[in-house]
Amino acid sequence: MPIIPVKFKLPFILWGLLFRMSGLINKQARTDMAETKRKVAAVLDRAISESEDDLLIVSHGGIMKFMRKELIKRGFKGPRFDIAVNGKLYLFEKQ
């Protein structure tokens, strides 16, 4: 996340914009995002390989964006979302 020395709350949409921009500007942020993507892939590798049937993964909304992209790459089908709704179940099925 971008580090901004402010003492007031920013609107959610502004945080999202700053987060996206930090990936373009800040080398450390790009490295952190790449590491997060690798960790998501590793978690999915392990979860899928150890699961014999259905699987439930509970995650932070920000991580769900990375997880959705990785699941789509692996041949799963599921809903699109820009911002994950808190407490909503998103079902991805292997095709």
Q: Which two tokens stand for residue 81?
A: 């979302």
* pLDDT, tens only, 36-94: 999 999 999 999 999 888 999 999 988 999 999 999 999 999 999 988 898 999 999 99
Domain boundaries in the chain? 12-94
Q: Is the pLDDT of residue 4 over 70?
A: no
Whole-structure pTM value? 0.72
Angle in degrees, CA 74, 23, 32, rounded to 5: 65
Query: How sure is the predictor about 5, in pLDDT bands with cuts at 50, 70 and 90?
Result: low
